[in-house]
Structure 1
C-alpha cells in the first residue's frame, strides 16, 4: 500500500500533536482528548510570547 503525500502529512501532524500532548502530560500539565483537535501554536507565536515574558 502506498501512501499519498497528503496522507503522510496528515499522519505526521497527528503524531506531532500526540507527542506534544504526551510531553505536556509528562511535565505535569492537565490535558484532555479534545486538546488533540486544537491547532498547535506556530514557532513564531511561541517565540513572541516568550519575548514578551522576558521583556
Structure 2
C-alpha cells in the first residue's frame, strides 16, 4: 500500500493501515456514545469509554 503526501509517494504496511482504521473507528464510537447518540447496556449508569476489546 502506498500513500501520497504532496508529490512524494511513501509505502505503508497494510497491517498498520488496518490498525489506524480500527483506532479511528474506536475514537468515533467513543465520541458518539459520549454525545448520547446511543448507549450500550453497560452505560445506563453513566458514560464510560468503550473498551478496545470485543464485548
Alpha-carbon RMSD across the aligned residues, in angstroms, is 2.2
Name the TM-score, length of structure 2 as normaliser. 0.53
Picking from 17, 20, 23, the partner of 2:26 is 17
More helix by share: 1
More strand by share: 2
Unpaired runs of at least 5, structure 1: 42-55
Residue pairs, 1:1-55, within 5 angstroms:
1-27=10-36, 30-32=47-49, 35-36=50-51, 38-41=52-55
Instruction: Kindly report structure 1 stretches of 4+ aligned residues shifted beyond 6 Å.
Output: none
* Number of residue-to-residue matches in the alignment: 38
